[in-house]
């Protein structure tokens, strides 16, 4: 069976991504335990690992409760999520999952230690990259965040983007306010508005699509990025 990626909704707009193959599941950023536990049971999945991208509660708060039911499950994450994780990852680390290469990108800015996981052609980027947007720069280190975006930009256009939140519609409304004549952004907003009316996910996106609609990936200088990110903070 091929690898399957399934979203579990949590809180108002978080996604907990489940990577599945055969009867094994890997859960990314379980901010809430109950929906994950219910899904694993309903689908008769064995928990193979937990991946964490960063130390915010809405991405990590479910870990302990899940581990209580699935003791011994390896937890991967950056230094900043210790002691929740027993495997510490950093830029350039590689390992295998479901016979696919996993590579770790350090993608700070939203938090100091944020990492992203490239699993085959699927990118799990937490709050570093959203569709048509990017996370808030809580660290104040705009240079680090800008550099993280350049890493995403250098991935293949076909890489699928599995972000941590469903913020696409608001991001595109913001993008349209900045660049009202951009046809790609206008079209994307219409598509995404229709999907959201039916309560459907707008993810995954792709790096190729993000290059067309994401004003933060498109920022050509640090200054440009800071201006756009600060305007988005007040949108
Ligand atoms: Zn966050």
Q: What DSSP element (H or E) covers 115?
A: strand 115-119
Residues with CB under 5 A from ligand 1 (ion): 56, 127
Would you state the pLDDT for residue 2? 86
**CA 125 to centroid of ligand 1, rounded, Å:** 11
Termini Cα distance of the chain: 44
Question: What is the per-residue pLDDT across 185-201, written as a single tens digit (0 to 9) for each?
Answer: 999 999 999 999 999 99
Distance of CA 110 from the midpoint of ligand 1 (Å): 7
Section 38-58 average pLDDT: 98
Q: 207 CA to middle of ligand 1, Å?
A: 20
pLDDT at 1: 73
**Alpha carbon of 148 to ligand 1 centroid (Å):** 15
Identify the pLDDT of residue 52: 98
Tell me, in angstroms, the distance from the centre of ligand 1 to residue 190's CA.
27
Q: Ligand 1 centroid to 156 CA: how many Å?
A: 25
| 75-77 sheet: strands from edge to edge | 4-10, 14-21, 24-28, 46-51, 75-77, 87-88
> How many angstroms separate the alpha carbon of residue 220 from the centre of ligand 1?
24
Q: Give the integer Cα–Cα distance in Å for 235 and 230.
A: 9
Q: Is the pTM of this model over 0.95?
A: yes
Question: In this model, does residue 18 exceed pLDDT 80?
Answer: yes
Q: Which of 52-56, 97-101, 133-137, 168-172 has the lowest mean pLDDT?
A: 97-101
Residue-wise pLDDT for 144-180, tens only, equals: 999 999 999 999 999 999 999 999 999 999 999 999 9
Closest residue by Cα to residue 77 from 41, 114, 125, 111: 114
Mean per-residue pLDDT of the chain? 97
Q: How do residues 130-139 score in pLDDT, each as one tens digit?
A: 999 999 999 9
């Amino acid at each position: 069976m091929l690898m399957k990626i399934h979203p579990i909704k949590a809180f108002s707009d978080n996604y907990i991504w489940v990577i599945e193959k055969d009867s094994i599941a890997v859960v990314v950023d379980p901010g809430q335990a109950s929906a994950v536990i219910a899904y694993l049971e309903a689908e008769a999945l064995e928990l193979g690992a937990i991946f964490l991208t960063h130390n915010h509660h809405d991405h990590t708060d479910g870990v302990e409760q899940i581990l209580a039911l699935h003791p011994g499950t390896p937890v991967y994450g950056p230094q900043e999520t210790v002691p929740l994780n027993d495997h510490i990852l950093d830029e350039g680390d590689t390992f295998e999952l479901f016979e696919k290469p996993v590579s770790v990108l350090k993608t700070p800015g939203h938090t100091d230690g944020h990492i992203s996981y490239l699993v085959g052609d699927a990118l799990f980027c937490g709050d570093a990259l959203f569709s048509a947007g990017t996370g808030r720069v809580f660290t104040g280190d705009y240079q680090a965040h800008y550099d993280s975006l350049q890493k995403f930009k250098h991935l293949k256009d076909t890489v699928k983007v599995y972000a941590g939140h469903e913020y696409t519609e608001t991001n595109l409304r913001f993008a349209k306010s900045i660049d009202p004549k951009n046809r790609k952004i206008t079209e994307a907003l219409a598509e995404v508005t229709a999907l959201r009316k039916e309560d459907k996910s707008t993810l995954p996106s792709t790096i190729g699509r993000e290059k067309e609609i994401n004003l933060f990936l498109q920022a050509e200088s640090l200054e440009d990025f800071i201006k756009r990110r600060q305007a988005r903070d007040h949108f």
